Structure 1
Amino acid sequence: MFRLFVGIPFPVSVQASLEGLCHGVPGVRWVQPHSFHMTLRFIGEVDEDVAEDLDAALAGIHAPRFMMALSGVGCFDKRNKVKALWAGADKSSPLMHLFGKVESAVVRAGMPPEPRKFKPHVTLARSRNLSLEQAAPFLESRSQYLSEAFEVSRFTLFRSHLSREGAFYEPLAEYPLT
């Protein structure tokens, strides 16, 4: 079985910029800089033959390269408990176009449609017991964050390996944008 997702990798300079945000909140699990990415579509556990179908469908995507910058920070919370801290991105037309193409390809490969709305973000940290009140200083002090603009020239099919030390993301295939 393969645990898969489709994402946008970031240049080293953007990884370093994001790493600069990752401090000052005790008790969270910070994402390692080499693991920063933007998930376009989480797929989950699939058999090898489904992974091959996904690869073929994703390889058929034709979309233009585009510029993107990350801006601001936020959190996903449930019942006043923060589950993740993130840096965001605008829902630009080219990003939403690529997201739509990826979603269509994944569905054509036999996966169910994604029921949740797409929220472009990069996970910075995960948490179990952080309250919104405890996260507030982090969110306020980094609210004006803005990365350098960078070109999105490809997207990637990743395999996620989970361990006690955290997740490791293995690129299985890269798909160029034109």
Structure 2
Amino acid sequence: MRLFLGLRPPAPVRDALLAAQCGVDGARWQDEDQLHLTLRFIGEIDHRGADDLGAALGSVMGDAFDLAIRGAGHFERKGRPSALWAAIAPSDGLLTLHRRVASACRAAGVPPDSKSFVPHVTLARLGGHSTGAGEWLARHGALSAPPWPVTSFRLYESTLAPTGSRYTTLAKWPLARRTADSG
């Protein structure tokens, strides 16, 4: 099983992200079902490991929080853009959830993630022949979408296919909603 933990933006946010997907020749744009924010990539894991991970993640506690899309960016490979993404506005709630998820992963025996956490939603993957990424970044530097409440996080299975990865939700854990009485 190839797994990751993520957050799924609601339909209005996904619609805004889909509307920005144009103008880069050779880009492999993510479809609506693929739009997510990766909290933690797990990678290949056996069923027993997945069960241990699920049990550890069930102990993650936290408050719901809001997220918003603010800007755009890219990743590079060998000096060329390899992915375009929508940036996430700074969020203490997101960073707290990320730390708690990372702790649960360690408790379940998942090796630490060697990559820095860069909160984003991938919009396109680029090959060596893609053109127009710089212009796209200039046009979408102020990309935004309505803020949304994050009330849960999910464990996904990623199945690789010639048309792109398919994501299946395996489990979902709620985050507590704060009320005026709870501080």
TM, length-normalised to structure 1: 0.96
> Which consecutive unaligned segments of at least 5 residues does structure 2 have?
177-183
Match of 1:10 in 2: 9
Q: Which residue of 2 aligns with 1:150?
A: 148
SS in 1 for 2:73: strand
Find the aligned partners of 1:146 and 1:28 in 2 and give their Cα distance: 21
Q: When you count strand as a share of all residues, which structure comes out higher?
A: 1
How far apart are 1:83 and its partner, in Å?
Answer: 1.1
Question: In structure 1, what is the equivalent of residue 173 of structure 2?
Answer: 175
Aligned to 1:138: 136
CA contact (8 A) 1:81 1:130 kept: no
Matched, 1:42 2:54: no
Match in the other structure for 2:181: none
Q: How many angstroms does 1:53 deviate by? A: 0.6
Deviations 1:118-164 (A, max 9, x none): 00000000012157x73111000011111101000000000001100
Q: Which runs of 4+ in 1 moved over 3 A?
A: none
How far off its partner does 1:104 sit?
0.4
Give structure 1 stretches of 5+ with no counterpart: none
What letter corresponds to residue 44 of structure 2 in structure 1? Answer: E
TM-score by length of 2: 0.93
Q: Is 1:97 aligned to 2:96, yes or no? A: yes
Q: Per-residue deviation at 1:71? A: 1.0
AA aligned to 2:69 is L
CA distance in 2, matches of 1:80, 1:118: 20
Would you say how many aligned residue pairs link Structure 1 and Structure 2?
A: 176
